[in-house]
Every structure is written in C-alpha cells, then in structure tokens.
Amino acid sequence: MKKLLTPFYQRWLLPFALILMSLVWVAPAYATSLYEVPAASDDTHVVDLADIISRINEGKLNTTLSELKEKTGQTVRYVTIRRLDYDETIDSFTEKLFKQWFPTAEAAENQTLIVIDSLTNNSAIATGDKVKELMPDTIAQSVSQETIQVPLRQGNRYNQAFLDASDRLVAVLSGAADPGPPEVIDNVQVEGTFATPEETKQSNAIPWVIGLLLAATVIPMATYYWYVR
C-alpha cells in the first residue's frame, strides 16, 4: 500500500505544494519596500521603479524640475512603484518615504514628493512647511487626485500625468496663478436615438410595414390554395 501511495504523492502533492508556496512567497516579492527606494539625489527628480515613464519624458521632467529648483529653491520629486505591501497604503508609504528622505523639518521644508503605485494607479503627495505657504494642501491634493488621475483614468497615460503635474507645480511653486486641474470632457451621449413623431411621419416606414404584413398574410394563403388545388 505504501508503494502505491508514494508515486501519487510525488506526482501530485509536491507540485501542488510548490504552487501554494509560490502564491504565498513570490507575490510579496514584487512589492516595493521603503528600503528598496534609493536615497534622494540632488540631480535626480524622477525615481521610476515601476518603469512607466519613457526616457525622453524622464529627461524632460528632470530638466524642468532642475530649473525650478535653481530659480525658486523648491524641489519636486516623483517616485513610481509597482505595488505596495499588503499592510501599506499609498498615503502611508508616501509619508514614510518623505520622512526617510527628509528626517528633519529643515530638510523637508522646500520638498514636494509624489508617489504612484502602478498596480492600482493610486497616487499621494507630501510637502514641507515652506511649500505649504506657496501651495496649500487643497491644491496639493488636487494635483495628486485630479491633475495626475485624469490622464490615468483615460488609459494609463503616465507620461501625460507627470508632465501635466509638473506644469502645474512649476506655476504654483514659482508664485504664479494656479492653472487648476485639467478639464474633464464628458463624452456620454445624452441625446435620444429614437425618431421624433415628425421624423416618423416623413419616413416611408408605415407603407413598408403594411406591405410586409399583407405579404405575410396573402403569400401563405395563396400557397395553400395552390397546393390544395
């Protein structure tokens, strides 16, 4: 009996156990921890761990944000990750990373950090004290939840989301007027597709319907009469 059961366990239970282990251990490996994010660099404003930004646009973002820093002293950084750990939210991850990069109030005062999780497309923002004087939390949240989220809802347009956010952040942090979030265009058709009574009168539908009804009645009767005769 033991010899008969051994091949069964080896053939079916072992692969099944490996599958279960892969579901338990491999999936969390794709999550990004705080310690996997490299330290903040003076020359780098984009940390694209999720690999969702093109190299051309990453270069544009670094150039634009470097110029902003030189002119105003304000530093903006973007971080993209593939997914969060099960016990993290995008807000908690962003706050922890902000404190990890800028542990003191002095280091954080002119800093703006935006993080996107590419698995869920959730985004969050954290800002320093002097940033809040130029950009209140209401505008900061609008940048995170509107300026970035609108292009993402239109088909994961990550590059457009970051470029739009940079344009708005540069304007606000430079002391200019806030251009506001992008306009959301509603493409839902609200007009009815049914014909109006006037259109119905003008059409030839009624004669066609009457003709078809007569044909449906006369043809079977004529066929039956011909068959009986």
The full set of domain ranges for the chain reads 34-173
- What pLDDT, in 10s, does the model give residues 74-99? 999 999 999 998 889 999 999 999 99
Rounded-to-integer distance, Cα 109 and Cα 128, Å: 4
42 close to 91: Cβ distance less than 8 angstroms: no
Tell me the per-residue pLDDT of 38-66, one tens digit each, with 9 for 90 and over.
988 888 999 999 999 999 999 999 999 99
Hey, what CATH topology would domain 34-173 get?
Answer: Diaminopimelate Epimerase; Chain A, domain 1 (3.10.310)
Backbone φ and ψ for 122, nearest 5 degrees, come out as -75, 150
pLDDT of residue 82: 93
**Residue type for position 49:** L
Lowest mean pLDDT among 29-33, 82-86, 155-159: 29-33
Q: How confident is the model at residue 193 (pLDDT cuts 50, 70, 90)?
A: low
